[in-house]
């Protein structure tokens, strides 16, 4: 075997990732070797030869697309091709592009060490060679390291032992044998029906039931084939920008919004298609536990209708995780197999395995145990997913730090591609990338293309080939990597994924840190991010060459993912600018937009009424009463809308939400609008509302003396100023003030106006439009317009102030919180990371806003708790 001593690139792994990367590297003239532990290509499809092994993404889509010739030269025989066929496909690719010659088979990478002086990796193999290279790529797969079974006595059995992930190449004949299968994940679910067809007795030991959807395998989908034949490039481009790597429109149907019959009809339709389509049956199943449970029950009904024995059926019904939060399985006759007389399910939740013996398996307790005798045990116990193969190699980066110790508390990567401290080290489909949540053929190609561009860039900026030693090094910055980890978590946390004890969370391997490993933000958005990193001059990377050095430190995504999605959607609507409208038109536009919002939670009662302004003019309010027994404390709420737009019902969903969370009555009070009624009319209307509510608290079902003010944006400005006026007038007493993204200073020149003046719904120009309608320039420094500028900020009610990172008003809200605190008031400042001026009020749209609305509810409750305590002390 010829091994170059000094290569441009070493790749570990000859699955689809390693094969395609080798091709790309060779095309660029890079000297490259691939190290592969197996004796052939194929990776996953080389190792996993158990009966029934096949893909669960339609194979028309589980296809590499880098060469248009592949579309015509290879045809899949089935909708979900079998392992032998996919392995042949990998071999076909390796042969077609002459890749075999670049691969060292039966060669395991054992150690890789970065040599800072030489700017090279030294890679040691189990054959004793050390290969030196500029760039080191782990294309070792997310599901390639089988998990060692964590069962007492697992190595004691003296009969035949098989692992689904290391199935003998010559096949296994189970005819006439008593067979145990341990595990009920995807591999078990695929293989159990086929093993049952051979075995004399089959006993399945199940720790956790998984959801499985029928595959309805057959000929490749004609519709998809026709689309690909019509224009493969368009089809593949759509896949690349899709959420999961397979083209298709996302459904607009929400499980919660449908009637039982409608929901069932849609479910039946998707069940009849089969497979992972079920993940897209409704658009709310991965974000709402309630929606998910509706779907789970429909699937459980199917299981109960297939499996005759009710105890077995119930044991097969998953109840400990929402559907989709563990990878759903796709099967052929899995559940029906349990109707066969020689197949038995042992539920390990009631009868745990105590030990594996020389001849079989013992379960239960000493008093009530059972002993099983077997000829063969099949372990279908899964993988040490996503990180196992990476830390399985002893990789040492800069300053002697190993990947294993650096990732001891969980992997940290930038984009799932690179990691701090490990220059010129790349991972294909690493943790923090969409990987196992996607059609991996698409994700693999995208990663390989990105890594190829990076390596080419290192050669180019280093000046290699231009007579110098050349080659640059690349490494992510701490800032970029940390922020990527935060973004990956933000994405996961708006879904139900983290609820499940899944291998996505590392929960299947004892001692493995629990964190959500893949990037849930979607294949398309992820691709956009990776491209943007490059377009922005390799944002978040330090690139060093002999004669140049660049550190473009920064963060690629800070906005909350759901907020970002709403902004993107709004951008596609190309909505007219509010400031280009007349106030009348703007009001109509706003109420039309409001009509499309989800309604918010149910409250006990909603009552509309009027109260008199200072000059007797009747103004409208809307009262939201909690469903709990009263009387309740009362919050006088002032809506947002820049003193020009909105009314007592315009913040309806938000007011309902506040009502439920605070268990207080919310009185959303109107105030007269500019430009018809300019400053200070609205301020005095605010004071009139507070005074009237305080006087009528009992009539409204409230607790006298327990009245707070709250508001959003311009409404928060009214609330804040009302607190000043009430203090100066000696009442009414205010228990607290809740100010969400308040206007506190009309000078509009803070840094946040510049940073966030465009692109986040409330723009600087819209704010100027509002302000110009509301108030004359000469009055803008009045404390009744800009409470931050008030000479006296002492003796104001306790305040909770919420500011948002991407809000032009952020800095003035922050300044007001500081000023109130300096003046001796109690202040709680909540800074909402990744949010905009409008996002926290978007109830049932922006999930990442929930925790902040919880805090707002808690703030109101604490105002009143304090008020009632001090009243009691006073009494
Ligand atoms: C049973 C099963 C079914 C799957 N079905 C689907 C599906 O339907 N759709 C889908 O998108 N994905 C599926 N996957 C995921 C699948 O792993 C990927 O789609 C894809 O095949 C991964 O390719 P890869 O080249 O990145 O990694 P792998 O195919 O895992 O290849 C990695 C290679 O690296 C080698 N290797 C690892 N460590 C070392 C080392 N230290 N030294 C030398 N060699 C090493 C391994 O031997 C292996 O050959 C499935 C996975 C499994 C296990």
Q: Give the pLDDT confidence of 161-177 residue by residue, as tens digits.
A: 999 999 999 999 999 99
For the chain, report the end-to-end CA distance as a whole number of angstroms: 92
What gap in Å lies between CA 583 and CA 642, rounded to an integer? 11
Cβ of 212 less than 6 Å from ligand 1: no
What is the C-alpha radius of gyration for the chain, rounded to an integer number of angstroms? 32
Dihedral sign, Cα of residue 759, residue 760, residue 765, residue 766:
positive
Range from 134-143, 179-188, 468-477, 706-715 carrying the lowest mean pLDDT: 468-477
Ligand 1, atom nearest to 48 Cα? 1
As beta bridge partners, residue 710 has 637, 738
pLDDT number for residue 871? 63
Q: Report the C-alpha dihedral over residues 19, 23, 24, 26, rounded to 10 degrees.
A: 130
Which tokens hold the place of 789?
């500028």
- Whether the CB-CB separation of 348 and 147 falls below 8 Å is answered with no
What gap in Å lies between CA 875 and CA 873, rounded to an integer? 5
Looking at every residue in the chain, the average pLDDT score rounds to 95
- How far out from the chain centre does Cα 250 lie? 17
Closest residue CA from atom 30 of ligand 1: 141
Cα of 38 vs centre of ligand 1, distance in Å, is 12
355 to 163, 343, 741: CA distances (angstroms): 18, 21, 60
Cβ of 804 less than 6 Å from ligand 1: no
Cα of 638 vs centre of ligand 1, distance in Å, is 57
**In the predicted structure, residue 216 carries a pLDDT above the cut 60:** yes
Q: Residue 778 has what DSSP assignment?
A: G
pLDDT number for residue 315? 98
Q: Which of 524, 528, 515 is nearest to 556 (CA)?
A: 528
Transcribe 663-730 into DSSP letters.
TSEEEEE--PPTTTS-TTHHHHHHHHHHHHHHHTTTTTTEEEEEEEEEEETHHHHHHHHHHHHHHHHT
Cα of 30 vs centre of ligand 1, distance in Å, is 24
Dihedral sign, Cα of residue 168, residue 172, residue 178, residue 179:
positive
Cα of 204 vs centre of ligand 1, distance in Å, is 26
- Which residues are CB-neighbours of 257 under 8 A, at least 6 positions away? none
Q: Percentage of residues in the chain with pLDDT exceeding 70? A: 98
Question: Within a 13 Å sphere around the CA of 536, how many CA atoms are in the beta-carbon half?
Answer: 16
Cβ of 16 less than 6 Å from ligand 1: yes
Q: Residue 164 has what DSSP assignment?
A: G
Cα of 17 vs centre of ligand 1, distance in Å, is 8
Q: Report the C-alpha dihedral over residues 774, 779, 782, 788, rounded to 10 degrees.
A: 60
**In the predicted structure, residue 4 carries a pLDDT above the cut 90:** no
Q: Which secondary structure element, helix H or strand E, spans residue 660, and what is its range? A: helix 652-662
Q: Which secondary structure element, helix H or strand E, spans residue 298, and what is its range? A: helix 289-306
Strand bridging mode 827-836 / 212-214: unpaired
User: Residue range 98-110: average pLDDT?
Assistant: 98
Task: Reply yes or no: is the peptide bond before residue 631 cis, omega within 30 of 0.
Answer: yes
Q: Is the pTM of this model over 0.85?
A: yes
**In the predicted structure, residue 3 carries a pLDDT above the cut 50:** no
Cβ of 435 less than 6 Å from ligand 1: no
Ligand 1, atom nearest to 141 Cα? 27
Per the listing, tokens 């590392």 go with 506
What gap in Å lies between CA 326 and CA 274, rounded to an integer? 17
User: Residue range 322-345: average pLDDT?
Assistant: 97
- Which residues are CB-neighbours of 267 under 8 A, at least 6 positions away? 281, 295, 298
**In the predicted structure, residue 875 carries a pLDDT above the cut 90:** no
């Amino acid at each position: 075997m010829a091994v170059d001593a000094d290569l441009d690139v070493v790749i570990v792994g000859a699955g689809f990732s390693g094969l395609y990367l080798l091709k790309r590297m060779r095309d660029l003239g890079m000297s490259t070797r691939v190290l592969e532990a197996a004796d052939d290509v194929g990776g996953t499809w080389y190792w996993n030869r158990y009966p029934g092994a096949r893909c669960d993404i339609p194979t028309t889509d589980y296809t590499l697309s880098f060469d248009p010739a592949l579309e015509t030269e290879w045809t899949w025989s089935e909708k979900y091709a079998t392992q032998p066929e996919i392995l042949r496909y990998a071999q076909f690719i390796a042969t077609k592009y002459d890749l075999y010659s670049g691969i060292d088979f039966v060669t395991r990478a054992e150690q890789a060490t970065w040599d800072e002086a030489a700017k090279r990796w030294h890679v040691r193999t189990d054959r004793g060679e050390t290969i030196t290279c500029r760039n080191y790529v782990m294309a070792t797969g997310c599901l390639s390291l089988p998990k060692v079974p964590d069962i007492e006595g697992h190595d004691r059995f003296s009969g035949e032992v098989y692992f689904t992930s290391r199935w003998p190449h010559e096949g296994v004949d189970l005819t006439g044998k008593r067979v145990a299968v341990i595990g009920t994940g995807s591999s078990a679910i695929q293989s159990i029906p086929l093993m049952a067809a051979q075995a004399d007795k089959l006993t399945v030991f199940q720790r956790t039931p998984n959801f499985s959807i029928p595959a309805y395998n057959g000929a490749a989908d004609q519709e998809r084939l026709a689309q690909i034949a019509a224009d493969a490039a368009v089809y593949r481009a759509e896949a690349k920008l899709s959420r999961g790597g397979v083209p298709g429109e996302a459904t607009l149907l929400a499980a919660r919004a449908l009637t039982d019959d409608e929901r069932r009809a849609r479910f039946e339709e998707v069940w009849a298609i089969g497979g992972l389509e079920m993940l897209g049956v409704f658009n709310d199943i991965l974000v709402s536990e309630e929606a998910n449970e509706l779907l789970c029950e429909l699937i459980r009904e199917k299981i109960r209708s297939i499996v005759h024995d009710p105890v077995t059926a119930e044991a097969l019904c998953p109840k400990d995780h929402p559907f989709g939060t563990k990878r759903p399985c796709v099967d052929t006759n899995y559940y029906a197999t349990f109707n066969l007389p020689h197949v038995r399910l042992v539920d390990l939740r009631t009868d745990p395995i105590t030990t594996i013996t020389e001849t079989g398996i013992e379960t239960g307790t000493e008093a009530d145990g059972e002993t099983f005798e077997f000829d063969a045990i099949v372990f279908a116990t899964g993988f040490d997913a996503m990180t196992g193969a990476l830390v399985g190699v002893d990789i040492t980066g800069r300053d002697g730090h190993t990947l294993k110790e650096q990732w001891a508390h969980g992997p940290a990567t930038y984009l799932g591609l690179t990691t701090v401290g490990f220059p010129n080290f790349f991972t294909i489909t690493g943790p923090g990338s969409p990987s196992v949540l996607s059609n991996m053929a698409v994700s693999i190609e995208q990663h390989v293309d990105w890594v190829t561009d990076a390596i080419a860039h290192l050669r180019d900026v280093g000046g290699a080939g231009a007579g110098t030693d050349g080659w640059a090094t690349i490494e992510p910055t701490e800032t970029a990597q940390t922020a990527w980890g935060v973004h990956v978590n933000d994405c996961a946390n708006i879904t139900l994924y983290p609820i499940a004890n899944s291998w996505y969370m590392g929960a299947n391997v004892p001692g493995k840190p629990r964190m959500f490993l893949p990037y849930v933000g979607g294949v398309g958005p992820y691709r956009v991010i990776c491209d943007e990193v490059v377009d922005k001059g390799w944002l978040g990377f330090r690139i060093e060459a002999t004669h140049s050095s660049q550190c473009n430190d920064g963060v690629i995504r800070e906005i909350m993912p759901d907020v970002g999605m709403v902004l993107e959607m709004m951008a596609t609507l190309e909505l007219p600018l509010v400031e280009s409208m007349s106030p009348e038109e703007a009001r109509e536009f706003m109420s039309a937009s409001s009509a499309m919002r989800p309604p918010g939670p149910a409250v006990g009662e909603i009552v509309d009424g009027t109260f008199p302004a200072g000059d007797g003019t009747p103004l409208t309010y809307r009262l939201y009463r909690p469903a709990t027994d009263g009387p309740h404390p009362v919050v006088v709420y002032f809506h947002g809308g820049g003193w020009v737009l909105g009314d007592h019902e315009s913040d309806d969903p938000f007011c309902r939400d506040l009502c439920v969370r605070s268990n207080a009555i919310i009185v959303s009070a109107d105030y007269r609008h500019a430009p018809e009624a300019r400053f200070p009319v609205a301020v005095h209307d605010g004071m009139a509302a507070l005074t009237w509510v305080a006087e009528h608290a009992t009539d409204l079902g409230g607790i006298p003396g327990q009245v707070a003010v709250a508001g959003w944006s311009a409404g928060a400005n009214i609330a804040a100023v009302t607190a000043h006026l009430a203090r100066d007038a000696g009442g009414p007493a205010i228990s607290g003030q809740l100010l969400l993204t308040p206007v506190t200073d009309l000078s509009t020149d803070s840094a946040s106006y510049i940073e966030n003046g465009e692109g986040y719904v409330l723009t600087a120009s819209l704010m100027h439009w509002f302000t110009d309608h509301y108030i004359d320039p000469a009055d803008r420094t009045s404390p009744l317009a800009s409470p931050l500028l008030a000479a006296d900020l002492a003796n104001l009610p306790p305040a909770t102030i919420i500011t948002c990172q991407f809000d032009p008003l952020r800095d003035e809200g922050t300044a007001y919180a500081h000023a109130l605190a300096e003046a001796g008031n109690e202040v709680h400042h909540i800074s909402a990371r990744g949010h905009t001026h409008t996002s926290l009020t978007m109830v049932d749209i922006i999930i990442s806003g929930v925790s902040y609305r919880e805090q707002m509810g808690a703030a109101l409750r604490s105002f009143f708790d304090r008020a009632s305590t001090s009243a009691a002390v006073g009494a």
